[in-house]
Amino acid sequence: MLVTHEFFPHRGGIAVYAAEMARAAQSLGYAVEVWAPALEPGIAEPGWSFPVQRLPLAGNHSLLSQWRMARALMAQRDRLRAATLYIPEPGPLLSMLLLQYFDTLRPARLLLTFHGSEIQRLASRRLLRWSTSHLLDKAERVSVVSAFARDLLRRHFPQASAKVVLTPGALRTDLRLTAPVSPPRRKIIILTVARLSPRKGQLHVLAALRALPDDLRDRVEYWLVGSHSKENYAATLKAAAAAADFPVRFLGDIPDEKLDALYADADVFAMTSIPHRHSVEGFGLVYLEAGAHGLPVVAHAVGGVPEAVLHEETGLLVPPGDQAGLVAAFVRLLRDPALRQRLGAAGRRRAQAHTWSDSAAALFGPPPGS
């Protein structure tokens, strides 16, 4: 039973992670069932290879969603006694922090995955930290998506150290790759694919591109894919874009099946994530996706990003706050097509280094009786 608040049609790395771990568990021989938030009217369920039970909840971290998830888990407590309960993200984990104290809810196995930011949030308050410690004691195995997240978990919850396994993400199984497009005399396209959030750092990319030398600034165009703006960030971004003297295109949400063409048109991928409140980039599947399309990456060396982007091998990493260094990284890539090609080729190889089957085997192990 894989229980998640983030699943299709929700966009983002955790939604991809949940779906792909379900597929990989099934490929190991497990009978998989996914519980996910209800679909909005007009959205059809894709043809999953496993059953998906849609629950009457919004899929956010509100108390109402937590309560409805808790009620669904309690309603299935008899089935769970003979099942593995897998929680791959913080939404249902918050429900389990309370449900763990009910003796009637005792899954045969409890498996958890942590991505990074939730570790800091759970450790930030005494009651949450205490309850999380109890839940970790009950878990058979705990996975993390990066060495950064592993170290964070061990620092805040050292009692879980012996249970921790590393289960990084990989490429989407439905990812389509198209040969890059190189029309003559075109702009150099910088692409960011991320929700419009301060943590994703699009403003830093814009500021760096505005600080380029005149001859390079005349040659660039910046494309932003994503919406779901937080903290009025989209308005701030659009105001900064209006002041730029190069083209900036806000493309909104693009379906996965159409993203491939945008990657093929782009020359450089940039996502300069920064720590924001308790939130930090735990890994970043989108960096692997960009690499799979042969794009060199510009990013901040923060959280688990250096495990997704290898500095001077698949991209260029800059410390957060080093705006001059960020400008210099763009200058290097824009002036050196051979460097772009070398980093992009290495990115393709790097994108194949992780597989979902390896991560699933590390977390789930072989099915009982296999």
Q: Distance between CA atoms of 108 and 85, rounded to whole angstroms? A: 8
How many Å is the Cα radius of gyration of the chain? 21
Task: Say how many C-beta atoms besides its own lie within 10 A of residue 241's C-beta.
Answer: 19
pLDDT of residue 35: 97
Per DSSP, 186 falls in state P
Per DSSP, 280 falls in state -
pLDDT of residue 369: 72
Q: Distance between CA atoms of 101 and 272, rounded to whole angstroms? A: 41
Global pTM reads: 0.92
Strands (E), the chain: 2-3, 34-37, 52-55, 84-87, 109-114, 141-144, 164-166, 188-193, 220-225, 248-252, 268-271, 297-300, 315-318
pLDDT of residue 165: 97
How far separated are the first and last CA of the chain, in Å rounded? 18
pLDDT of residue 12: 87
Distance of CA 331 to the CA centre of its chain: 28
Distance of CA 33 to the CA centre of its chain: 22
Q: What are phi and psi of 10, to 5 degrees?
A: -60, 140
Instruction: Decide: 313 and 335 in contact? Cβ < 8 Å.
Output: no
Distance of CA 128 to the CA centre of its chain: 24
The one-digit pLDDT tens for each residue of the chain (370 residues) are: 999 999 999 888 999 999 999 999 999 999 999 999 999 999 999 999 999 999 999 888 889 999 999 999 999 999 999 999 999 999 999 999 999 999 889 999 999 999 999 999 999 999 999 999 999 999 999 999 999 999 999 999 999 999 999 999 999 998 888 665 555 557 999 999 999 999 999 999 999 999 999 999 999 999 999 987 677 899 999 999 999 999 999 999 998 888 999 999 999 999 999 988 878 899 999 999 999 999 999 999 999 999 999 999 999 999 999 999 999 999 999 999 999 999 999 999 999 888 999 999 999 999 877 6
Q: What is the CATH number of domain 2-170+354-364?
A: 3.40.50.2000
Instruction: Decide: 327 and 208 in contact? Cβ < 8 Å.
Output: yes
**Two structure tokens written together for 185:** 């005399």
The candidate with the shortest Cα–Cα distance to 197, out of 238, 223, 230, is 230
The length of the chain is 370
pLDDT of residue 184: 57
pLDDT of residue 201: 95
Domain with CATH 3.40.50.2000 in the chain: 2-170+354-364, 188-351
Run of H or E including 154: helix 147-156
Q: Distance between CA atoms of 27 and 327, rounded to whole angstroms? A: 45
Fold of 188-351: Rossmann fold (3.40.50)
pLDDT of residue 232: 87
